[in-house]
Chains A and B, each alone.
Chain A
Amino acid sequence: MTKTITDVICPFCGTLCDDIEVTVSDDGKKILEVFNACAIGNEKFHHAMAKDRPVRPRMQQADGTYKEVSYDEAVEYTAQMLANAKKPLMYGWSSTNCEAQSIGHEIAEAVGAVVDNTAAVCHGTTLIAVQDVGIPSCTLGEIKNRADRILFWGCNPAHAHPRHMSRYSIFPRGFFTGKGSQSRKLIVVDPRHSDTSKLADVYYQVEQGRDYELLQAFRTALKGEWLPDVVAGIPKERIYEGAELMKSGRFGIIFFGMGVTQTLGKNHNIDAAISLTKDLNEYTKFSIMPMRGHYNVTGSGEVLAWQFGFPYSVDLSRGYARYNPGDTSSIDLLIRGEVDSVFTIASDPGAHFPISAVKRIASLPSVAVDPHITPTTEVSKLHVPVAFVGIEVGGNAYRMDNVPIDTRKVVDPPEGVLTDEQFLERVLIRVKELKGVKA
């Protein structure tokens, strides 16, 4: 008999869909079918079943080949590397649960490391903007139940967050939005046409790198002030019209993605978008929300913040927490040559960092903890395969709107494969021994 597990949480993107149903084999070892998930989510569950998946740690040899080692040896190597480093970087955390993050933070505190998550390359700039001007936001259910003005700025949920539009933003029929998409106006701002912009009632093809100017122009237009004839490639009449359209709604929301967080202007683009949202609250109700990528990058920021006070790029090397992206942020640390060993977990900097930073990882003592073989595991000295969080082990995660959802285990991990938590717990014990910290 197969069995079907309900209320499963998809551990892929920040949408964190929690209505997945998974049919597993009688012995609880095989995933047979996945229902309700998008194509990416579906793939993520089935990927855990891959036959060629590594199930034991692998140590890089002098000739570049890998040799299988035991978890004991992997724990020892990792603990020694971290305990002996002067400034180790512990990066990633965005695709694991909050419990693993917590243990990792304790290791980082004991060894005096820098802890950073993938916000460093996606929504870290958003966090900087939030620190400068705040953020009026809401949970996704508020959009579903109330919103009649939806803006997507520099993001393409049709591809990156496939169920976002149907679950939360455009199509759902909520309490005060009984007509679903008919009760909403969709505005899309993007330099490129996309499958999201095709759905838009109003589309602004902003000039590349001029989002800040356009956002500020909307703010100026809201106040009824003078504008030049064309801003960021958009005629001023269309900007005044857009401002009016936003104002005239009962409840609006701006969703934004890496099209604005990582292009020219970075945090300032978000700062202006937040300021626009704040201005709109003088006329109606408006919110703004980042389209977070990894399913638990938000959680990493939350746990770091309550434990150390900062959401990413936290430097614990001096024994207390410091934070200043540009100094304490991973890519800067790597490129500037500020760290002497690299521990990555639940992320793939090898695929996303600039090549000079990746080269630095390759030149340093390094450990990568990841269920997959990735570009990062291939440049690291040690690869520690682990169980998939949200599939083979549960644990808490935070959705893009900061709502905590406890992920579920649906199948057992392959025989003998440790979870992130189990591996980190063993490293913590060893590190405390090495550092002489009272257990």
Chain B
Amino acid sequence: MTEFLIKNGFVFDPTLKIKGDVADVAIKNGKIVETDAVKKPKVIDASGKTVMAGGLEIHAHIAGPKVNVGRIYRPEDKLFNATAGLKATPTHMNTRMEGGFSIPTTYKTGYNYARLGYTTAMEAAMPPLFARHVHEEMRDTPIIDEGAYPVFGNNWFVLEYIKNREINNTAAYIAWLLEATKGFAIKSVNPGGTEAWGWGLNCLQVTDPVPYFDVTPQEITTGLIEANELLGLPHSLHIHGNNLGNPGNYTTTLDTLKAAEGHKAKNKFHREQVLHHTHIQFHSYGGDKWANFESKARPIMDYVNKHKNITVDVGFVTLDETTTMTADGPFEHHLTELNHLKWANVDVELETAAGVVPYVYSPDIFVCGVQWAIGLEIALLSKDPMRCFITTDHPNAGPFTRYPRILKWLMSQKARDEQIKAFKNSDKVVNGSEIASFDRELTLYEVAAMTRAGPAKALGLSHMYGGLKPGLDADVAVYNFNPEKENSPDEIEKAFSTVQYLFKTGEKIIKDGEIVSNGNKRTLWVHAKVEENPQVMRDIEEKFVKYYTVTKGNYEVHGKHFIPNPLAIEVDAT
């Protein structure tokens, strides 16, 4: 493989504690190496530019059944929003057609992450029965490494085992399902509430018992944390708590976070948290109706800042027309009742559900303005950027392609002030939030923690990703951004919209802003070895015979046509 030397860039890397010093980065055999380890490298002149590790997406909906429902049922998302592929660019590249804005095609998803300097992304909710579909889409998403989180929080096995306090069995089942679906981590969405949705009901509070199963969301969350740490998986429990999106829900969120108290991370991957709460912006709402809706980012972040065993990602509202999609089935029904836009729902036997509804975050609507403010407040109130990550819960709060705009708002008070002024209900937004009083501007070092080193550590992948330390994968982004210059807000957004260069595991993917390779993407999954557990195996057999509509033999994901290039992370929990 070609050796590269990226010279004289301003390097930002929390793993090496480099805060914008001019330094060189060397690449050999797909890895970062010491600069003297390359003999005849191709030299990339990065002088006057910013150099970081490749970005990591910790939570996005980019592959699988509900994403594709979004594509299928929103042709208008593609209208006049498509670019040519093979036919138009036959000779110099082999890149495929791209289409869509909030729910781009798989090719566009891969290319767009690469353009932003991202090299790894996690699909945030995989319904196990649809695992094959998720993997097919990931296979067709070029360049970026991907993994997917199977959902467990409403799974009948989990509900029954946890009700009986059988944590060993819960763990054994999880290990089996991760292998069957080639999943990466334990995801829990509206624990209990989505099963209740099977009857058109919900669990809004952590103490609301799940119909029939008679277990509470709190018990599910605690049980999953315990099972996760029993197995010692790379990532922690990844939760989307109950009561998402409703005024006054911040108390539910605090209740959810309390499940982590007293638990300590046990794993060999240097992960320190036991609970990752995702898109916490949607869970930090005050007031008791839309009319008095307000930010509760501060009590949430006070709690998060104090508790080192919790990480969060934000879910910034980007003020776009987008498509919401979540395994929180009852929430999407609630949303379609509010905005009357088209509603898709899929309940998945024994496992989960999902809903999809388009949404327009209009700067003319006061609630949308406050949601925008809450996202920024969460990031700006964070005392530890290694535990608070940048996401839009793509595409729920906005498409991930808006990350450069979010950086603009986080790095420039002027940019925030301009947006506040542009709101139709500027006064109400200011009254309902604290954002106007914030003068913190994030540094690129903090941004690198929130988008690289932090997510890599939280995912238990800091041995591969998130930094420029020799030995890590050579995922490197070079941005046309000079941090020593005075940059206007729009210059910030522009510079981070398309990388100058991108390397993925040592291969040059983008040159001068143009994609030159489809890369060699890998699918990450976790292979957790556990002691044989005949009871769980019997339970699995029985549920397939009696309640599933596919046989056990036709459930597991096998074969190169689903995962051409797997990368298994081994865990020994025997």
Contacts and interface: CB of A to CB of B under 8 A. Distances in A.
A80 B132 CA distance: 35
A6 interface: yes
Given A138-B346, A138-B348, A406-B554, A436 B88 contact: no
Nearest to B77: A309
Contacts of B262: none
B43 to A, nearest CB: 26
A102 B140 contact: yes
B356 interface: yes
B434 to A, nearest CB: 37
B136 A404 contact: yes
A276 B199 CA distance: 17
Interface in A159-180: 167-168, 174-176
Interface string A279-309: 0010011010000000000000111011111
Contacts of A319: 84-85, 87-88, 97
Interface stretch (B66-74, B278-286, B470-478): B66-74
A142 B105 contact: no
B200 A285 contact: yes
Contacts of B348: 138-139, 141-142
A405 B547 CA distance: 17
A306 B92 CA distance: 24
Contact of A142 (B68, B92, B349): B349
Nearest to A137: B346
Interface residues of A, number: 73
Contact of B72 (A174, A305, A322): A305
Contacts of B343: 133-134, 136, 278
A37 to B, nearest CB: 14
B382 interface: no
B344 A320 contact: no
A320 B130 contact: no
Contacts of B6: none
10 contacts: A141-B348, A175-B546, A285-B199, A302-B72, A306-B140, A321-B97, A395-B561, A396-B562, A435-B90, A436-B90
A305 B71 contact: yes
B347 interface: yes
Given A141-B350, A250-B199, A323-B78, A403 B550 contact: yes
Contacts of B105: 306-309
A287 B349 contact: no
B187 interface: no
A301 B72 contact: yes
A82 B555 CA distance: 38
Interface of B: 63, 65, 67-69, 71-75, 77-78, 82-88, 90-94, 96-100, 103-107, 129-130, 132-133, 136-137, 140, 156, 197-200, 212, 333, 336, 341-350, 353, 356-357, 546-551, 553-554, 558-559, 561-562
A318 B346 CA distance: 34
A424 interface: no
B559 A406 contact: yes
Contacts of B97: 109, 307-308, 316, 319-321
Given A305-B71, A307-B107, A130 B554 contact: no
A99 B90 CA distance: 23
A127 interface: yes
B99 A321 contact: yes
Contacts of A102: 140
Given A405-B554, A435-B90, A309 B71 contact: yes
B337 to A, nearest CB: 8
A310 B75 contact: yes
B548 A141 contact: yes
Contact of B74 (A106, A112, A131, A141): A131
A171 to B, nearest CB: 13
Contact of B347 (A7, A9, A142): A142
A120 to B, nearest CB: 15
Given A110-B87, A307-B106, A310-B78, A285 B198 contact: yes
A18 interface: yes
B561 A438 contact: no
Contacts of B345: 134-138, 287
A405 B550 contact: yes
Interface string A1-43: 0000011010000000011000000000000000000000000
A142 B199 CA distance: 11
A229 B199 CA distance: 34
Given A7-B554, A135-B344, A142-B347, 8 more contacts: A111-B87, A134-B73, A134-B344, A138-B345, A278-B343, A324-B75, A396-B561, A398-B133
A313 to B, nearest CB: 10
Given A251-B199, A395-B561, A396-B136, A309 B554 contact: no
Contact of A402 (B87, B88, B94, B130): B130
A438 B517 CA distance: 12
A243 interface: no
A320 B547 contact: no
Nearest to B345: A136
Contacts of A322: 82
B344 A136 contact: yes
B134 to A, nearest CB: 9
Contacts of B129: 139, 403
B349 A306 contact: no
A372 interface: no
A132 interface: yes
Nearest to A141: B349
Contacts of B198: 142, 146, 251, 285
A6 B559 CA distance: 18
B561 A306 contact: no
A310 B353 CA distance: 23
Contacts of B65: 402
Contacts of B92: 438
B199 A309 contact: no
B349 A109 contact: no
A140 interface: yes
Contacts of B74: 131
A272 interface: no
Given A18-B554, A140-B549, A404-B132, A320 B96 contact: no
A273 interface: no
Contacts of A436: 90-91
Given A131-B73, A306-B71, A321-B97, A18 B551 contact: yes
A145 interface: yes
A285 B202 CA distance: 12
Nearest to A113: B87
Nearest to A283: B200
B99 A308 contact: yes
A98 interface: yes
A311 interface: yes
Contacts of B554: 7, 9, 18, 405-406
B132 A396 contact: yes
Given A320-B97, A402-B130, A406-B554, A138 B347 contact: yes
Nearest to B554: A18
A175 B84 contact: no
A324 B72 CA distance: 13
A437 interface: yes
Given A134-B343, A137-B344, A109 B96 contact: yes
Contacts of B350: 141, 145
Nearest to B343: A134
B488 to A, nearest CB: 33
A144 interface: yes
Interface string A388-401: 00000001101000
A145 B85 contact: no
A130 B344 contact: yes
Query: Which 8 pairs across A and B sit closest by C-beta, in order of nearness?
Result: A141-B349, A319-B84, A134-B342, A7-B553, A138-B347, A320-B82, A285-B200, A404-B132
A53 to B, nearest CB: 26
Given A145-B349, A284-B200, A404-B130, A320 B85 contact: yes
Contacts of B353: 138
